[in-house]
Chain A
């Protein structure tokens, strides 16, 4: 009878009330609202929690061992298409051996190392005023049609390594990680918001195909 949602959610509630780790499985997404609410009630019922001294010590030691400069950040690596999928588990930074030219500043175009033009869509698939998410190897982008031309911006937020999504209602790109939204030209909708998104090289072929400079 465990497949009944009330049984499954009660098992999760019981685990939470015993202080156990959240162990979820396929199908639990159906009850995501109830599960996140249960976690929240369990998490706030005893007031704000503090770190255990042992964990604080462990954390402090880990921080002491963390390098502080000269490393390519995960976001920079994602934006530049260094072969790491957005959302994939991974460290916060990569080795110093990374190609330094791969790191691009906010708003600048992405020139992937060993970049290649990748066919991503037909021009006829693009709707004026609507962003279309495409992937060219490890470069993610949103395409925007303006009449007979097309532009592209990176699908990675300019602040954190988070994959943006197209908000049809607001007609802008929204970050799932924090309250940041961007116009189709990559500028933040908030004048005090994060820097602009990186642009992505895009071209239109004579056959009406859209190609993005990405990676294999």
Chain B
């Protein structure tokens, strides 16, 4: 390997990458936390608030030099805690009362890729009518009236069917 020394004072300096700080690693990991929370509360405003809460709770306690995997584990444990607090506050229930639904709102396992296929997996386990009403409403964005027309039914009946379909969807477990 040859090295050429440039003339004069303008020597090239090899800039070694600095060791990433825990907060920098955490900021990248928080992207995953954001997606994880969004997939459970379903809207941007609440997701931003909760992600910020996770960051403010967890980051002051991260050790410099901690590996990214440890930081991720800690951030997700904090995210689960924050989600527990969110649902218990919004629903006016203690976290102990909420625990039956924790699997839906706050899965105990590690985060996994979640997306449109998660919806399909949930829907696949429902009866035809329940699946159809949720597909039209959530995936196609139909109004109740449009769903009723599509399914040859009434708005009232579709509303009841939607409620029952959501209750059934809540019981679906995806191996979390």
Q: Are B77 and A177 in contact (CB under 8 A)?
A: yes
Residue from the list A6, A32, A42 in contact with B43, Cβ < 8 A? A42
Residue from the list A5, A24, A45, A91 in contact with B119, Cβ < 8 A? A45
Q: B151 at the A/B interface (Cβ < 8 Å)? A: no
Given A6-B159, A33-B167, A46 and B116 contact (CB-CB distance below 8 Å): yes
161-176 of chain B: CB within 8 A of chain A: 162-163, 166-167, 169-171
Given A59-B52, A62-B55, A19 and B101 contact (CB-CB distance below 8 Å): no
Q: B153 at the A/B interface (Cβ < 8 Å)? A: no
Q: Are B38 and A49 in contact (CB under 8 A)?
A: yes
Q: Are B104 and A37 in contact (CB under 8 A)?
A: yes
Chain B residue total in the interface (Cβ 8 A): 76
Q: Are B57 and A74 in contact (CB under 8 A)?
A: yes
Q: Are B35 and A29 in contact (CB under 8 A)?
A: no
On chain A, the residues within 8 Å of B43 by CB distance are: 15-16, 19-22, 39, 42-43
Residue from the list A34, A93, A160 in contact with B166, Cβ < 8 A? A34
Q: A204 at the A/B interface (Cβ < 8 Å)? A: no
Instruction: Tell me how far the C-beta of B34 lies from the nearest C-beta in chain A, rounded to whole angstroms.
Output: 5
Bitwise interface map of A from 157 to 185 toward B, beta carbon under 8 Å scored 1, else 0:
00111110100000000101111000000
Q: Select from chain A the residue with minimum beta-carbon distance to B139.
A: A45
- The CA-CA distance from A22 to B26 in the complex, in Å, is 27
On chain A, the residues within 8 Å of B85 by CB distance are: 87
Q: Select from chain B the residue with minimum beta-carbon distance to A70.
A: B60
Q: Are A38 and B98 in contact (CB under 8 A)?
A: no
Q: Are A33 and B138 in contact (CB under 8 A)?
A: no
Q: Are B42 and A42 in contact (CB under 8 A)?
A: yes
Given A45-B119, A71-B60, A39 and B114 contact (CB-CB distance below 8 Å): no
Residue from the list B59, B102, B137, B160 in contact with A66, Cβ < 8 A? B59
15 inter-chain pairs at a CB distance below 8 angstroms, sorted by A residue, are A6-B159, A6-B162, A17-B141, A20-B45, A24-B92, A33-B167, A41-B122, A41-B134, A47-B116, A49-B44, A51-B51, A52-B48, A64-B23, A92-B57, A178-B81
Interface residues of A (CB under 8 A from B): 5-7, 9-10, 13, 15-17, 19-22, 24, 26, 28-29, 31-52, 55-56, 58-60, 62-64, 66-69, 71, 73-74, 87, 89, 91-93, 159-163, 165, 174, 176-179
Interface residues of B (CB under 8 A from A): 23, 26-27, 30-31, 34-35, 38-48, 51-52, 55-61, 77-78, 80-81, 84-85, 87-99, 101-102, 104-106, 108-109, 113-116, 118-119, 122, 134, 137-139, 141, 144, 156, 159-160, 162-163, 166-167, 169-171
